[in-house]
């Protein structure tokens, strides 16, 4: 506000100076004197008369008479005018008084016009925010009144629900979401908003109804950022760290690389990897199981598939200019895989070169892409699996793929051996552990092995 007033005063003073200066200090005249001009004219006429006499154009008597006449006229034209007699009193509107009136009228008029037509409260942040809040509340109340008169407007109820949620009127927001009906069920954004509201009302618990809504949103849009964030948080809290890592890695693809949000998600992924016993992660500290580093769940924002494609295309363009960025090629490969562009993903993994060859997890991601393209494990995928197991004999994905390959070859004993190793690195009782246990039971049944095989140490 102070800056605004200072600028306004400065501009007003400049305008006043421009208007008043000619009145206070009138410019001095630079015109030609009338007497001097008349004398010059008559002098030229006398010279012309002398030339005519010299040529004999006129007689001496006529020349003398004409000269006398010119001299008399010159005396008349160059005579000083009589002084003008001053009037009975001086004029009231002098230049200085006019300047004084302008100096008073201009700032007072400008200030009055702004006060009348402008918005002085706009330069007061507190007053402006208060006015804005009041306006929003009025708009929301107006929408609520319209919906009471016309309740068959699901889109209107959805808009009202979001507005109430922002205003922290959670009870009314939940009622509005319920009245929105099928519109919510068809929109990933609304499903996630509804889930977030229910989680807030349940003391930040995502389990139950909130998680059902999140899963429904991800079924409609597997790359929905907020859905991936909440799904990862829920998995983390259930100690299903592998699932949390999977969801957050998908989320990482839609965040700006190097941004504060991306760094926070990367830290959460590293923490989940450590708790899952996955390679490439720092060791977790004792007693921190089930705890999650602070994450702004809204940081992911609403990202459309078009925006995601633009970000991935931008990363690909950067890597063409700087092909030595191996981490960049890995990030691009993961992004292509999520998009289902398996050929591009395979090419990106191959360009990551030595970085992939030295990391068991990256080798398995590479093998998964190739296997997905070809529909089979033998060949190049299994060569990468074996290389990964040399680097890390307990790499879960490598053991799972090795077990699947053995199962397809009807080598059920070998399949069971691999999968039992997987159980040693999975969280007991987790969903993944249950699935592996079912696979082992199936292999035992097909191989007629009963329960005689035990997990190898």
Task: Assign 3-class secondary structure to 112-163.
Answer: HHHHHHCCHHHHCHHHHHHHHHHHHHHHHHHHHHHHHHCCCCHHHHHHHHHH
Per-residue pLDDT, 347: 92
pTM above threshold 0.85: no
How does pLDDT run across 9-65, given as a tens digit for each residue?
A: 788 788 877 777 777 766 555 445 566 666 777 778 788 878 888 888 788 887 887
pLDDT at 134 over 60: yes
Question: Which pLDDT score is estimated for 127?
Answer: 52
Percentage of the chain surpassing pLDDT 70?
A: 78
CA–CA separation, 362 vs 308, rounded Å? 22
Mean per-residue pLDDT over the chain, rounded? 77
The yes-or-no verdict on residue 290 having pLDDT over 60 is no
pLDDT at 124 over 70: no
Residues 6+ apart with CB under 8 A from 81: none
pLDDT for position 107: 80
276: confidence class by pLDDT, cuts 50, 70, 90: confident
- The string of pLDDT tens digits covering residues 70-116 is 777 766 665 555 444 444 445 566 677 777 777 788 788 777 777 77
The residue ranking higher by pLDDT, 303 or 314, is 314
The answer on pLDDT for 245 being more than 50 is yes
Question: Is residue 412 pLDDT above 70, yes or no?
Answer: yes
Q: What pLDDT is attached to residue 213?
A: 92
Q: In the predicted model, is pLDDT for residue 303 greater than 80?
A: no
Please give the pLDDT value at position 457. 39
Q: Which of 50-59, 61-70, 129-138, 148-157 has the highest mean pLDDT?
A: 148-157
């Amino acid at each position: 506000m102070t800056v605004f007033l200072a600028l306004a005063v400065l501009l007003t003073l400049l305008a006043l100076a421009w208007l008043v200066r000619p009145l206070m200090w009138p410019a001095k005249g630079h015109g030609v004197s009338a007497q001097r001009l008349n004398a010059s004219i008559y002098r030229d006429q006398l010279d012309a008369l002398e030339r005519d006499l010299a040529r004999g154009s006129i007689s001496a008597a006529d020349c003398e008479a004409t000269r006398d006449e010119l001299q008399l006229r010159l005396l008349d034209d160059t005579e000083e005018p009589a002084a003008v007699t001053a009037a009975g009193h001086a004029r009231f509107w002098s230049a200085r008084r006019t300047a004084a009136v302008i100096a008073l009228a201009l700032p007072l008029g400008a200030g009055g016009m702004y006060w009348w037509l402008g918005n002085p409260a706009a330069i007061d942040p507190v007053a402006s925010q208060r006015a804005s809040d009041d306006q929003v509340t009025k708009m929301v109340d107006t929408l609520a009144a319209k919906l009471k008169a016309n309740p068959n407007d699901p889109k209107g109820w959805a808009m009202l629900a979001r507005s109430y949620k922002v205003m922290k009127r959670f009870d009314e927001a939940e009622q509005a979401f319920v009245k929105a009906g099928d519109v919510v069920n068809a929109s990933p954004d609304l499903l996630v908003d509804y889930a977030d509201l229910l989680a807030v009302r349940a003391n930040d618990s995502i389990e139950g109804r909130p998680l059902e809504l999140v899963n429904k949103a991800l079924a409609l849009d597997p790359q929905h950022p907020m859905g991936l964030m909440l799904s990862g948080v829920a998995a983390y809290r259930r100690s299903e760290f592998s699932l949390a890592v999977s969801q957050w890695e998908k989320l990482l693809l839609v965040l700006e690389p190097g941004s504060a949000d991306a760094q926070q998600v990367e830290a959460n992924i590293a923490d989940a990897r450590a708790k899952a016993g996955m390679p490439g992660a720092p060791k977790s500290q004792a007693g921190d199981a089930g705890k999650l580093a602070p994450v702004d769940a809204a940081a992911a924002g609403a990202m459309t598939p078009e925006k995601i494609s633009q970000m991935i295309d931008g990363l690909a363009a950067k890597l063409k200019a700087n092909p030595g960025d191996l981490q960049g090629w890995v990030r691009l490969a993961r992004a292509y895989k999520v998009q289902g562009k398996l050929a591009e993903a395979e090419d990106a993994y191959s360009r990551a070169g030595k970085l992939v060859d030295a990391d068991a997890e990256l080798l398995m991601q590479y093998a998964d892409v190739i296997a997905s393209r070809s529909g089979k494990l033998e060949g190049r995928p299994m060569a990468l699996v074996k290389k990964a197991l040399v680097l890390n004999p307990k790499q879960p994905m490598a053991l799972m793929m090795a077990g699947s390959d053995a199962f397809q070859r009807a080598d059920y004993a070998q399949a069971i051996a691999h999968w039992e190793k997987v159980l040693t690195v999975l969280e007991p009782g987790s969903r993944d552990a249950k699935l592996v246990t079912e696979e082992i039971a199936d292999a035992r049944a097909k191989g007629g092995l009963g329960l005689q095989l035990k997990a190898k140490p």
